Structures are given as structure tokens and as C-alpha cells.
Amino acid sequence: MSLIVVGSVAFDTVETPAAKADRVLGGSATYFSYAASFFGPVRLVGVVGTDFPPAYRELLQSRNIDTAGLETVEGKTFFWRGAYEKDMNKRTTLEVDLNVFGEFDPTLPEHFRDSRFVFLANGSPRVQMRVLEQVARPQLVVADTMNFYIESQRDDLLKLMRRIDGMVLNDEEAFMLTGASHLVDAGRKVLAMGPKFVVIKKGEHGAMLVTPTGVIVLPAYPTDRVVDPTGAGDSFAGGMMGYLATQEVFDEPRLRRAMAYGTVVASFGVEDFSLDRFRQIGMDNIRSRYEQYRAMLAL
């Protein structure tokens, strides 16, 4: 398995009705790579400022995450601050400082260029494309995006969409990107833009896979300990790609199982702030919860 991810590495300050976490390790590439690392090694491409603690880099390295692509440049690390309401599906972004991430122009380490599995996490479609162009012979390329880029860099995003195999985005983004008002319809419209499959994330309501041959919906795993949903979508993608990177073919049954692994991995992630819950578990915990999830859905 040679899985590469590009995305943000950040400090997050998260307020929930019950607790607060101050300047903890976050970012799309962080959550993704840690979640994927349960399945095998991950190559991380990103940028941090000189304020990024060595301990955070070591935390990633200790999990089979190759941080050779995590540049340090003069300045401050991406910072995000947000607050969740009592209904944890609702959050407000209170502060975003892109800092060094705003000028990010990634150059891949030589030994990253033979990566076969590519995940382009949340980020500018231009940066996503630049990474993709540096991978010699990608076998499976999946990209995420977000509202900001759908609105401000739509042409670049559409260009990228013609180069990828799969797309992962949330329901709101799918509606915004396609103009559809029904999820299945949104999924089909995404396929018409290029990708061979799309996974639409619905937060606590699970996820929908749309392929040219069908529609699959899986529910979220019903954990009753939701401490912090930040990064759940990225952890989902990490579990999904982590599983796919252990496979040879990517047919519907494999994609479905990949979604299920993503679901289970993400359900652990929300049980504490930052990577704290992930740090307590191993692949055995993931397998055991996967079995419970499988049994729950067996009719």
C-alpha cells in the first residue's frame, strides 16, 4: 500500500456545550492520515509554521505516517476555531487563519511520487491538482472539496473532477456543487462531471455511495459518546481509503465495505477531542466494532 494525502494540518480550538479544547492538533490531512494509518503506512503532504510542536510531528510519525512531505515554513500554522451547538450537527466557524496554508505550493518528496492511492483532502483545487500532477502513475484518486472552493474556484474544481476516480463531499456541498435538491440526484450529477463514484457524507446520518450502477446508503454507527465531531468526515475518508489501499479492485462491494470501515473509524474519532480517542485504540477495536456494525445491518 502506498497511500498519499494532501490537506491541512492545523491547530483547532473547539467549543462544545460540554467542554473546550484549546489549540489541539487538527486539520483534514491530520485526521485522514491518522485514521488511514490503522490499515497501513500513509504519506502526508502539508505545511505547518515554525510554531508547530515537534511532539505533534512525532505523534504522526509514531503511527507509520511519513511526514517527509510536511513542510515547515516561516510563519504560523493554520488555525481554526469553531463552536458546536447542543445539536452537534450544527457548528459555527468563529475564526479561520490560513496562515502558511494560504500560500501552500507543495513539492512532493521524490519517494512519494510512486504513490498508487491518492487522497486530495480539503484544500484549493489548484493545490490538489498540483499534487496529483506529481504522482507518476496513480491507481485510485479520490478528492474532497468544500463550499469555499465550489464557489470561488469552480472552474479549477471542475477541471480536477475530470481527473479523479472518486469524490467525497458532504450533503450541503453536493447540493451546492450540482444545484440538485435531492441527494440521489446530486450524486448522479457529480458522476456526470467526471468521477466514477461519489460518496456523500451526511454526518450523524451516515453516507451515500452513488455509482453508475446503483445507490448505497449506510447509517452512521450509533455511538452514544459524541464529544467532538470535528474531523469526522476526514476520519471517514481515511478509514475508507485506508481499506481501499489494501485492495486490488474497487468494485461496488469493495467500495461499500470501504464506506463501512470509514463509518466505524469515524465513530471512534468523535468520542474525544483531536486524535485522543484514536490514540487509545488499535485495529482490533476497529475490527470488533465493524463486526457489531455488520451484525446490526444483517437482515
Binding residues for a copy of itself restricted to 12-41, rule: CB under 8 A: 17
By the rule CB under 8 A, 206 interacts with a copy of itself: yes
List 217's β-bridge partners, or say none: 208
Residue 16 grid coordinates: 462544545
The only residue of 42, 88, 131, 190 in contact with a copy of itself, by rule CB under 8 A: 88
Q: Where are the beta strands (DSSP E) in 27-160?
A: 42-49, 65-73, 78-84, 91-97, 117-120, 140-144
Q: How far is the CB of 295 from a copy of itself (least distance, A)?
A: 9
By the rule CB under 8 A, 169 interacts with a copy of itself: no
**Count of residues that interact with a copy of itself, criterion CB under 8 A:** 36
Provide φ and ψ at 94, rounded to 5°. -100, -25
Place of cell 484544500: 123
Binding residues for a copy of itself restricted to 264-283, rule: CB under 8 A: none
d(CA 12, CA 231): 10
Stretch that binds a copy of itself, among 32-40, 75-83, 84-92, 109-117 (CB under 8 A): 84-92
Q: How far is the CB of 216 from a copy of itself (least distance, A)?
A: 5
Instruction: Judge contact between 35 and 277, C-beta under 8 A.
Output: no
Q: Which is nearer to a copy of itself, 43 or 202 (CB)?
A: 202
By the rule CB under 8 A, 260 interacts with a copy of itself: yes
Q: Which is nearer to a copy of itself, 39 or 293 (CB)?
A: 293
Return contacts of 145-150, CB within 8 angstroms, 24+ apart: 145/169, 145/173, 145/177, 146/122, 146/173, 147/172, 147/173, 147/176, 149/123, 149/124, 149/125, 150/176, 150/177
Q: How far is the CB of 121 from a copy of itself (least distance, A)?
A: 25
Q: How far is the CB of 176 from a copy of itself (least distance, A)?
A: 13
Residues that bind a copy of itself in the complex, under the rule CB under 8 A: 17, 86-88, 181-185, 188, 202, 204-206, 208, 215-224, 226, 256-257, 260, 290, 293-294, 296-299
